[in-house]
Amino acid sequence: MTKPILVVTSSYPKEVEDRIDRDYSARRKQDQLPLCPEKLLSAAEGADAMFITPADRLDSGFFQKVSPSVRIVATYSVGFEHIDLEAAARRNIPVAYTPGVNNEATADIAMLLLLGASRRAYEAQGLVRTGAWKPLNPDMLLGWQVGGKILGIFGMGRVGQAVARRARGFGMKIHYANASELSAEIAGDAVYHKDPSDLLRASQFLSLHAPETPQTHHFLNSRAISLLPPGAIVVNTARGGLVVDDDLIAALKSGRVAAAGLDVFENEPRLHPEYVSLKNTFLLPHIGSATIETRTAMGMLALDNVEAVLNGRAAPTLVPGRSREIV
C-alpha cells in the first residue's frame, strides 16, 4: 500500500520522527533554513499533507498556487499568524494547530522569566561567567521580591491559568483581563478587570498571554506602559507582536519599567538589537514549549490531525472558525 506523501519542514523528537517514517512517505528539506515560497510550493506538488512550523509562511499567494493534492496543513504551533486562513479556506484546505499541550511548559518559562528579570539574573550570571565576581557590597545587584506583589495576567487562557497557579505558590496576588470573566471555580481569588487599562494600573508585574489579533497587536505601547506602576516588571511568552519594541526599550532605559523577561519577539529571530544591549532584560530564544514531553505531544497532535483528515475523519484541533473540514 502506498503511503501518503507528507511534506516535513523541520526535525522533531524521536517518537514523532518514528511515526512519520512509519506512516508517511516524508518529503524533507535538506538544511535548517526555512523554505522559500517557491520551494514550499515545489515540495507540496503532489503531496497529500504538509507538516510545517511558524518559520514557514503560507500567504495568499501560496494557497492560490498550491497543488490541489494537498488536503491539510498541520502547523507545529499554537499560533497560526504565519498562515493566511482565509486563503486556505477558499481552497478548502483545513488548517490544524496544537493547542492545549504546551500550557505547563510555557508557564514554567514565564515564571523563569519573571524570576530572572526580577532578580537581575542576567547581570548576576555575567559576573560568574566572566570571572568578574568579587565580594558584593550589600547594595549591589538588588532585585525585587515577588511575594505579596500583584501579577497582572493579560489573557487568562490555559497558559495564563497555569502561570496563576505557579505565581500563587510564590505568594503573588493575581489580577487578570480576559475576553470574558472566568467562572469562580476557575478564577479562584483572581481579580477580574473588564478594562485592560485597569489591569495595567494594578500590575506591579505584568505577564502577557493573549493571542495576537488585530485587537491585541501592539497592546503594550507607550500609553499602556504609562499606566503601569513605576518600576513594573514585564514578561512576555505569548507573541512578540503584542509589544511595541521601541516603547518598551525606552521604558527600560528610563527605569519606568524596571526589567523585562522576554521569550518571544516581533520579527523573531531578528529581535530588536537594543534588547541585547540592556542589562535589565532577561532574554530567551522562544523556548516556551521546549521540553521533550511537550514537543513530542505537539508533534503527535499535529500528526493526529493529518491522519484524521486523510482518513475522512474530523480532525481533533482545527484552527477554529476560518478553516474548513474536508471529509
**Is residue 27 annotated as a catalytic residue, yes or no?**
no
Report yes or no: 236 and 208 within 8 Å, Cβ to Cβ: yes
Whether omega for the bond prior to residue 214 falls within 30 degrees of 0, making it cis, is no
Q: CA–CA distance from 189 to each of 107, 153, 199, 231 (Å)?
A: 19, 13, 15, 25
DSSP annotation of 243 reads B
**Is residue 81 annotated as a catalytic residue, yes or no?**
no
- Record the cell numbers describing residue 68, joined without a space: 490541489
Q: Which residues contact 124 (CB under 8 A, 6 or more apart)?
A: 141
- Record the cell numbers describing residue 227, joined without a space: 499606566
**Is residue 19 annotated as a catalytic residue, yes or no?**
no
The residue from 286, 322, 324, 325 that is catalytic is 286
DSSP annotation of 51 reads E
Using CA atoms, how far apart are residues 207 and 294, in angstroms rounded to an integer? 21
Report yes or no: 59 and 84 within 8 Å, Cβ to Cβ: yes
The residue from 120, 175, 193, 239 that is catalytic is 239
C-alpha closest to that of 304 among 149, 101, 115: 101
The residue from 268, 274, 324, 325 that is catalytic is 268
Write out the catalytic residue numbers.
239, 268, 286
